[in-house]
Structure 1
């Protein structure tokens, strides 16, 4: 693999920094129940602030979501990153595809932490993670030979089915977030869940990047374009870790007694199961170079 040394250094750095950030975020402070306080936003809304640990200035809802994501990062994303790095070092195509997708998870996660989380002692750690994962992700993508991508997959690979599923996910996320945004824009009110934050960062990332990428990937995969295979692997592997994190967030919010949209409570776990099935199908259809 091209740039293997650089990607290895960056991936190890990501693993260490993510363990520090997620571990500190998950275990710092108490349960927060005795330290919560009410804050009135610029919009005149009363928001319950967590009040303890590294997430002391986050809302109770956001702190619960962050702790849920930190748990997934520690227990799932970091081990996957290290395992995929070892597989890549052995020359396995599956490992390189998994590595690209896992790095995509860290890129998205710490972009959202850098831009959304209230300023805290981990800010520079978030920025370093964002930078390291961005460059490792780009270098990993550049290591693939686009002219040989289709040879890494069996001819029986259900490209149309997986491509259609990605288009469906893109459409549902688009409708979910537009449903959350359009009415407040038209009525001049505050979107539900904005709380004391300045804007809808996650929705901006999803609508600007995730939805277009999933849409283009779905179309390319249906047409069996070589680059579509790589993009599908990246999108699916990233989606597995990210949707698992979102499912954990929703569970954490319910446990914390926060109100959760019924649509989100159903849609994201269902998508989570769907992308796990897609990941299994994709891995079963990868052909390692030594077996070609």
Structure 2
């Protein structure tokens, strides 16, 4: 399998560095604790005040710690398992590896640009770079023209495609609902706090939402590339929704008010995307290798 050694080396580096970064993010607690800070926009922001994320807001710090927990208990184990299965030549392993690498690429791109500068900045950049090249090479492992042959014809592509489009629509409307009113009213969008811009919203609206819609349409039409993109979006949705669920718990723990609808909907969507991923993996037909 071409690029196997390179992908394995890059992935092992990602495993080691992400474990260090996530563990430090969870365990570090030096600092005096929360305090108020007046941003350049004249808003009073509650700063976390301790640990790696001491200069981040309470909201973003609690979300980052929740993301670190998801990386430790879900992201890294899945990356190890997928690397093992991929090296055995299994299509399921290659798919899962590509999907999980997409998660690490998204996660550490957001950390590199969103988190306030801290001592792990260079590690974030390294993880972003390693994930980008590993993800790109993993995508190149597939013969796109033959990819649809690896999936059972009974796979409910209409259900999967419509669900992907629905998830993309919900995410898009959620972020546009936050941004557009502020543009119309010439006010600051909710969640900007003391940061320079809306990094997560830019990544989601620029990449995740379009990819979700395109992959949904392509998988409904049973186009080969649609199966790969759909798998990537679904595993990203699983990790994202797992992180959001953990973030909601973290925000409730630190006393941040969370909408009841969010408490119900995000865990429900999480279960649905896990079900979709199960459908995809069960439908994969492993070819024989010489």
TM tier, smaller? over 0.9
What's the counterpart of residue 56 of structure 2?
Answer: 58
Q: Give the Å deviation of 1:61.
A: 1.1
Could you list the per-position Cα deviations for residues 257-291 of structure 1 after superposition, in whole angstroms to 9, with x for gaps in the alignment?
11234454343222211110100111110101139
After superposing the two structures, state which structure 1 stretch, 167-176 or 257-266, moved more: 257-266
Instruction: Find the aligned partners of 1:267 and 1:198 in 2 and give their Cα distance.
Output: 29
What's the counterpart of residue 116 of structure 1?
Answer: 114
Specify which of 177, 180, 188 is matched with residue 178 of structure 2: 180
Specify which of 153, 166, 184 is matched with residue 168 of structure 1: 166
- 2:281 is the alignment partner of 1:283: yes
What's the counterpart of residue 127 of structure 2?
Answer: 129
Q: Give the match's secondary structure for 1:38.
A: strand
Instruction: Find the aligned partners of 1:263 and 1:111 in 2 and give their Cα distance.
Output: 29
Q: Give the Å deviation of 1:240.
A: 1.2
What's the counterpart of residue 154 of structure 2?
Answer: 156
Q: Give the Å deviation of 1:238.
A: 2.0
Instruction: Find the aligned partners of 1:263 and 1:213 in 2 and give their Cα distance.
Output: 26
Instruction: Find the aligned partners of 1:98 and 1:92 in 2 and give their Cα distance.
Output: 10
Q: Give the Å deviation of 1:186.
A: 0.7
Q: Give the Å deviation of 1:180.
A: 0.6
What's the counterpart of residue 257 of structure 1?
Answer: 255
What's the counterpart of residue 146 of structure 1?
Answer: 144
Structure 2 counterparts to residues 234-245 of structure 1, below 5 A: 234-245=232-243
What's the counterpart of residue 26 of structure 1?
Answer: 26
Instruction: Find the aligned partners of 1:269 and 1:5 in 2 and give their Cα distance.
Output: 37
Unaligned runs of 5+ in 1: none
How high is the TM-score relative to the length of structure 2? 0.97
- 2:267 is the alignment partner of 1:269: yes
Q: Give the match's secondary structure for 2:46.
A: strand
How high is the TM-score relative to the length of structure 1? 0.96
